[in-house]
Amino acid sequence: MGEGTEAMIFRQLFDSGSSTYSYLLADDGNALLIDPVLEQAGRDAALIGELGLKLLWTLETHVHADHITGASVLKELLGSRIAMSAAANATGADRVLRNGDEIEFGSRFLQVLATPGHTAGCLTYVLDDQTVAFTGDCLLIRGCGRTDFQGGSSAQLYRSIREKIFTLPDDSILYPGHDYRGLTVTSVREEKAYNPRLCLAKTEAEFAECMANLNLAYPKKIDVAVPANLNCGRELHRENSA
Ligand SMILES: [Fe+2]
């Protein structure tokens, strides 16, 4: 391992079709890509090539209901390996992740936090020095992921946020899985103060009541995206045999 003399590369990438953010991190030429989107795999592979990076791993924050992962296409294009939550019970991953695991890239690593509640297998990835965390759909900017599908639980989500994310340093920068209003980034301090569902002033009962009354539409792509993502974005007809 080198000493990380060059600055870490970091790019926030956006898919406008699903309002999904993907995140490219690299140190010493070794890259990770969090939550790649199938339709953007060509874009992402080109950028990784232009930056002269080797893509070690694609990481999923969870089994997405709104888009298909680009993990398998990137594996074919770039030889990257696929990591996702053990609790997702997916097939086709090269590595399954549990709370406390570390994913190394160059001289840096991400630590895995299990943050269930939006789905049963949701993960948050925290940079080694806790300056940055990638929260997926667990914590969104001034919001959070819904809890009415995929093993979701408002009680679990509340605990994940209060016990795992809000115990990071107040200055920790948080990057969400989506934003629908043009915001790109937040911090622990901001969400503790201003998240309308989960700020420190809200009780668990208030949060549960809020989540039970969202009256959200059935996710448009869930019936296609979830089966595909349970197979890491590979062909849908593959046997569920792992
Ligand atoms: Fe999600």
Q: Give the separation between CA 51 and CA 33, rounded to whole angstroms.
A: 13
Q: In angstroms, what is the span from residue 145 Cα to ligand 1's centroid?
A: 6
Q: In angstroms, what is the span from residue 78 Cα to ligand 1's centroid?
A: 25
**148-153 mean pLDDT:** 94
Is residue 158 within 8 Å of residue 198, measured between CB atoms? yes
- Of 148, 212, 219, give the one whose Cα is nearest residue 178: 219
pLDDT in tens, 98-137: 999 999 999 999 999 999 999 999 999 999 999 999 999 9
pLDDT in tens, 25-47: 999 999 999 999 999 999 999 99
| pLDDT above 90: residue 6 | no
| pLDDT above 60: residue 236 | no
Q: In angstroms, what is the span from residue 216 Cα to ligand 1's centroid?
A: 13
Q: In angstroms, what is the span from residue 73 Cα to ligand 1's centroid?
A: 20
Q: In angstroms, what is the span from residue 35 Cα to ligand 1's centroid?
A: 10
Q: Quick one: tokens of 55?
A: 């893509």
**Which element (helix H / strand E) includes 41?**
helix 41-50
Is residue 82 within 8 Å of residue 92, measured between CB atoms? yes
User: What is the reported pLDDT for 5?
Assistant: 61
- Of 1, 129, 133, 4, give the one whose Cα is nearest residue 59: 133
**78-98 mean pLDDT:** 96
Q: In angstroms, what is the span from residue 48 Cα to ligand 1's centroid?
A: 25
Identify which has the larger pLDDT, 225 or 236: 225
Residue 14: which residues within 8 A CB-CB, separation 6 or more? 20, 21, 22
Q: What is the 3-state secondary structure (H, E, C) of 69-119?
A: ECHHHHHHHHCCEEEEEHHHCCCCCCEEECCCCEEEECCEEEEEEECCCCC
Q: What is the 3-state secondary structure (H, E, C) of 200-238?
A: CCCCHHHHHHHHHCCCCCCCCCHHHHHHHHCCCCCCCCC
**60-82 mean pLDDT:** 97
**73-85 mean pLDDT:** 98
pLDDT band at residue 239 using 50, 70 and 90 as cut-offs: very low
Q: Give the separation between CA 88 and CA 172, rounded to whole angstroms.
A: 26
User: What is the reported pLDDT for 238?
Assistant: 47
Q: In angstroms, what is the span from residue 234 Cα to ligand 1's centroid?
A: 19
Phi, psi dihedral angles at 21 (to 5 degrees) = -100, 135
